[in-house]
Structure 1
Amino acid sequence: MITRTIILFLVTTVSIATGYSQSEKKRIRQGNNEYNEGNYQEAEKEYRKALMEKPGYTKGTFNLGDAMYEQENYEESNKLFTEVTERVTNAEQKSAAHYNLGNTYMKENKFKESIEEFKNSLRLNSDDANAKYNLEYARKKLKEQQQQQQQNQDKNQDNKDQDKKDQQDKDKKDQDKENQDKKDQDKKDQQEKDKEKQDNKDKSKGDQEKDQKQKQQPQQISKKDAQRMLDALKNDEKKTLQKLQKQKAKAAKGVKSDIDW
């Protein structure tokens, strides 16, 4: 766990600049009292009032950053502490601003930035034990973060590899099924063709056998047809007989008697 995260400027012990009225200092003291009681919203109000009365008041800016930090508004806190680091020239005050800024980055899990701020704080105040401790803590957290990121990356890669393998297996399974379905369909089509061919062959053979059988069997006719044919034969026979009789009669008329008178 990091050490006490926030340094609070107290107007009774620290004098940043001269020329400020007692009104701003009073606001700061009231804000500090609220802050120490844990009333961070009330402390924020007092610090803002001090800044309204004296814009650019460094103590007000610094302590407002503290109040925003305690309310977990780290973005605003970061902005205020950065403003102090750019404005003040006093090494101790500048070191304190970098220290608080480092803690703000820690809360945002920005450990690289946090490490740099603790280093900046120690460059200005190398004896700050809290800054040294928090620097090592930030380094430890950065290492853990990088290890976790690597694990997540490895896990994501494993998941990607598994997804890829699953997709390949699925594609192969689908392709195998498609090939088998095609093979089965081709086999079925061929069987149907063979069956149709055999059916046609059997039908042709049956037709031939039927024709052959019909040729071998005497043709059956009805009694009516038989009578008609018989009548026709009799009629033809009668006509033929009549014709012969006529021819005989004609021949008889033309014969001379060979008698010797």
Structure 2
Amino acid sequence: MKKLILFIVICISFVGFSQEDKARLLAEKTANNYVYEANELVSEDFIAAEMAYRKALSKQSDNIAGLYNLGNSYYEKGNFEEALYRHQQTAKLATSKEAKHKAFHNMGNVLMQNKKCKEAVEAYKDALRNNPLDDETRYNLALAKECAKQQEEENKDDENKEDKDNSEDKKDEEKENKDDKNQEDQEDKEGDEKEDKKEEGKDEEDKKDDKKPEDKKDENKKGDKEKEDKQKPQPKPGQLSPQQIKSLLEAMNNQEQKVQEKMNAEKQKGIKIKTEKDW
């Protein structure tokens, strides 16, 4: 009885395992058929080929041939982002070294197209770890290293140029700040000078206001006298002043008086004076 039960359990397990294995094999076969169809279409109708590859992956998501060939088709069309993604999936899901080697090799090619030479070096190294004898991968690795070295030198040059530009910009900024400061100092100096002059003028006004009444009175008298002198008629060029005319008249009167006195003296002496002209 026990043997019979054990036999029945074994049979049931075998039947169950066969159904799962049969379903897996069927999915794999269907996926491979789609991959084969896509491979036939890819050179003539990329859209139809892409659709066939996606159908294959919907039936079997880890179909290495479908992932790898879809990645290659994207690479041929220049869609490097999708190509890189599909080859990364291939490298992750592949179980054989040969499949991994091909996936990493093509990842390196995509990265080189994207000018990511340093990352391409690492991809080619991973490819050689899975197949050290591939001369094509070794050659591509040498190219990637040279490209990475050149990019590194260019980056250093760019950094040095940027540092130089930043240094020059800093010098220009310092010079501009210095000029602005000098201008501000000059403006402050001019403002101080104006303020000093204003204060000096204020001090002079205060001094005038602080003068004694006597001083102000003397200044007023002096000002009145100068004003009076200015109001007097001034002699014009070539004319005698009133004072000069007065002095001249006095001199003439004195002279006339002297002549009169002399004539009176002569009359008193009896001097004969001619009244008629001689013939």
TM-score > 0.5 by shorter chain: yes
Residue of structure 2 in register with 1:61 after alignment? 67
Equivalent runs, 1:60-79 vs 2, <5 Å: 60-79=66-85
Decide whether the 8 Å contact of 2:128 with 2:138 is kept in 1.
Answer: yes
Q: Deviations over 1:127-153 (max 9, x none)?
A: 323212211111122112212211221
By relative contact order (CA 8 Å, sep 6+), the higher-ranking structure is: 1
Identical aligned residues as a percent: 28
Partner of 1:145: 151
Whether 1:182 aligns to 2:188 is yes
Paired amino acid for 2:218: E
By how many angstroms is 1:102 displaced?
1.3
d(CA) in 2 for partners of 1:147, 1:174: 40
- The number of equivalent residue pairs is 198
Q: Which residue of 2 aligns with 1:207?
A: 216
Shift of 1:55: 3.1
Q: How does 1:91-240 map to 2 (within 5 A)?
A: 91-198=97-204, 201=207, 204=211, 207-210=216-219
Q: Note the alpha carbon deviations across 1:65-85, whole angstroms, 9 max, x for none.
A: 222333444343323222222
Note the alpha carbon deviations across 1:76-124, whole angstroms, 9 max, x for none.
3323222222332333222111111112222333322211111122233
1:158-212 per-residue CA deviation (whole Å, 9 max, x = no partner) reads 2221221122111111111111111111112222333343455567597242455
User: Aligned partners of 1:129, 1:43: CA distance in 2, in Å?
Assistant: 31
Instruction: State yes or no: 1:47 paired with 2:47.
Output: no
* TM-score (normalised: structure 1): 0.65
Which whole-Å CA distance do the structure 1 matches of 2:49 and 2:111 have between them?
A: 22
Please give the per-residue CA displacement for 1:206-231, whole angstroms capped at 9, x wherever unaligned.
724245569x9xxxxxxxxxxxxxxx
Which residue in 2 is equivalent to 1:28?
35
Cα distance change on mapping 1:194 and 1:208 into 2, 3 Å: farther
Does the 8 A contact of 2:62 with 2:93 survive in 1?
Answer: no
Q: Determine if contact 1:61/1:84 at 8 Å carries over to the other structure.
A: yes
Partner AA of 2:119 in structure 1: E
Q: Is the 8 A contact 1:98 1:121 kept in 2?
A: yes
Structure 2: unaligned runs, 5 residues or longer: 1-23, 226-279
- Aligned position for 2:229: none
